[in-house]
Chain A
Amino acid sequence: MIELQGVSRAYAGDIWALRDVNLKIGGGEFVLLTGPSGAGKSTLLSLLNLQARPSQGRVLLEGTDLSRLPSAQVPKLRRRMGVVHQDFRLLYDRTVFENVAFALRVLGLPEAELKRETLAALERCGLKDKAALVPHKLSGGEQQRVAVARALVHDPGLVLADEPTGNLDAETGWEVFKLLLAANQRGATVLVATHNLAAIGALGKRTLRLRDGRIESDGVPGGMDETLPPSTELRPGPAGGRP
C-alpha cells in the first residue's frame, strides 16, 4: 500500500530530515514510528499526507506517486486518510460536532447522513455528550479524542498519527491508542509516530526506529514491557485480549 523508494527530504537546502529511506507497508498494517526527536518521524508522515514533498526519491501510495501529485489532487487524496496531530489542530470556534463533521462535509455528504455518521463517531470515541461543546471546554485527552474522531469518522483507508499521545497522561494516551487500534481492526492501515515506549512494548506491533533520518531498525519488539511506567495500566483492546 505504501512504498518509499530512496526518499530523502531536506529543509532549508541542507538540513536532512530523511536520508535514502526505503520502506514498504502493507494494507491493514499497524506500524509504529519511533526514535529521538529530529529523527524524521514527523517528516515521514508529512510526506504521506502531502504537507511536504520528498527532495529525492518516490513516495507511492496504492501505486500513486505522491511526489508528482498535482496540487489540485491533494484534497482528494487527503479525504481518503485521517490525520491526528500532537497539538490536536481543532477548529476552536466550532463545536465538537462541527469539528468531526467537517471531515464528512468536505466529502459532500448529505446533511442527514453527515449527522448520523458524526454522532456514531462521537459515540465510538466516548464524546457523544460533549458534541455541543467547543474544544476549549474539554480536557487535553478529550480534545485528542475529538481529533481522532475527526480522523476516523469517514472510515479512511490510511490513518496517520503524529505523537497523538505526546501531550496526554498514560491512561488517556492509552485510550487514544485503543481508538487507533479499533480503526486498524476495521481495516485501516495505521502509522503512529510516538515516543511512548510503554505503548510500543504493549502493542507488539511492527515498529520502525528512525535515527538521523534513516531507518535504524524495523520489526516487532519483544520483551519491552519493562519500559512501562509504574502508573501505566494496560487494558484489553476493543476486540478482547491484548490489543
Chain B
Amino acid sequence: MSLAYFAKEALRQSWRQRLLTLVAVSAMTLAALFAGSWALLWRNARHWQDSVGQAAQLSVYLKAGATAPAQAAAQAAAQALSGVASADLVTPEMAAQSLRSDPQIRDALALLGDENPFPAVLKVRLSQADPSSLKSVSVRLRALDNVDEVDAGQGAVESLLKASGAVRTALLGLLGLFSAAALLIVAAVLRLAAWSRRQELGIMRLVGASHGFIRAPFLLEGLLEGLLAGALASAILAGSLAWLGARLSMDLQVDLAAFLPEGVDWSLAAWLSAAAGLLGLAGAGLGLATVTLAYEDEEKG
C-alpha cells in the first residue's frame, strides 16, 4: 500500500468536505492554542518559581548562648542538609556592625552599652524552590543543635510557591478538558465524513479493499489536520506574543521579555504540532471505531 496514495486520498477527502475539515482544524487549533499557552505559562512559571526560589531565604536564628564553635557547627550542619544550596553565618557582631549605619538602631544600641542584642543567624538558600522542600528543610533546620527559630518569611514564599503550583494544575485540568472536546469534535467530524461516503466506501469494499485500506486515509486525514492545527496554533501564539510585546513596549514602555523570558521557539512549535497530530489521529480512530459502515452489516449476512 502506498503512503503517497493514502496521503492523496486524505487531502482529496479534506478538500471535498471543506466545511467539516474547517470545523475539525478549528477545534484542534483551539485546543493546540490552549496547550501552547499552557506550555508557555508552564515554562515561564518554572522560571518565575526559580526566581522566587532564588530569592527565598530562610533565616535560622541560633540560641542566644551559642558559642562561636557552636555557631560554626550549626552552619556546617545546615550546609550539609540536602536541599540546602548555601548557609551563611551572620554573627551578632556582624549584625550589629551592619545595623549601626541606621541612626535609630545606633542610638538604641548605645543605650544598651556593651550588650549585643542580636542573635547569630544562618541565612540559608534552597537548591530547589517548592513548597514541600521548603517545609522539609525548615523542619530539619529546626532540629539542629543550638537552633532557636526558623523563619521562612512567615509563609509568604511557601504561599507563593503553592499558588504557582495551583495555577499550573488548574491550567493542566483545563487543557485536558479542551483536548477531550477537540478529540470528540474530530471524532464526530470524521465519523460524519465516513458516514456521508458510505456508498463509496461500500464500492471500495466490493472491489476488495480491506478495512485498513478504507480507513487509512481517514486516519491520515486526522493526523494531517492535527499537524496543520498545531502549526497554526504555534504561528498564532508567536504572532500574538510579538504583537503584545510591541504594544506593551510602545504604549507602556514595558519589556514583555522580562515577564515572559521564554517565548514560542521551534521546539515548542514541534511539540505542539506533534501533540495536535496525535490528537487528530486519536480522534479519527475514535470516530471510525464508533461508525458501522453499511457494508459491514451486509457482510455479516
Contacts and interface: CB of A to CB of B under 8 A. Distances in A.
Interface of A: 49-54, 71-72, 74-76, 78-79, 83, 89-91, 93, 102-103, 105-108, 111, 150
Contact of B207 (A71, A106, A111): A106
List the 7 shortest-distance A-B pairs measured between CB atoms, nearest first.
Answer: A53-B301, A79-B208, A78-B208, A75-B210, A106-B208, A106-B209, A89-B203
Contacts of B301: 52-54
A174 to B, nearest CB: 25
Given A102-B207, A103-B207, A106-B207, A53 B300 contact: yes
Contacts of B211: 72, 75
Nearest to B295: A51
Contact of B298 (A51, A54, A108): A51
B156 interface: no
A71 B16 contact: no
B1 interface: yes
Given A71-B296, A93-B12, A93-B200, 10 more contacts: A49-B206, A52-B298, A53-B300, A71-B299, A72-B211, A75-B208, A75-B213, A90-B203, A102-B207, A150-B207
* Residue in B1, B208, B299 whose Cβ sees the most chain A Cβ within 10 Å: B208
B208 A51 contact: no
A180 B299 CA distance: 26
Given A51-B299, A53-B300, A89 B206 contact: yes
A78 B203 contact: no
A54 B200 CA distance: 25
Interface of B: 1-2, 5, 12, 16, 200, 203-211, 213, 295-296, 298-301
14 contacts: A51-B299, A52-B298, A53-B299, A53-B300, A71-B299, A71-B300, A75-B208, A75-B211, A78-B205, A91-B203, A102-B204, A105-B2, A106-B210, A108-B1
B300 A75 contact: no
Contacts of B210: 72, 75, 106
Contacts of B16: 93
Given A75-B209, A93-B16, A111 B2 contact: yes
A231 B301 CA distance: 42
Contacts of A72: 210-211
A77 to B, nearest CB: 8
* Residue in B5, B16, B203, B204 whose Cβ sees the most chain A Cβ within 10 Å: B203
Contacts of A105: 2, 5
Nearest to A49: B206
B298 A106 contact: no
A78 B204 CA distance: 11
B14 to A, nearest CB: 13
B203 A74 contact: no
A43 to B, nearest CB: 12
Contact of B205 (A52, A75, A107): A75
Contacts of B209: 75, 102, 106
A76 B212 CA distance: 13
Nearest to A67: B301
Nearest to B207: A103
A108 to B, nearest CB: 6
A50 B207 CA distance: 12
A79 to B, nearest CB: 4
Contacts of B5: 105
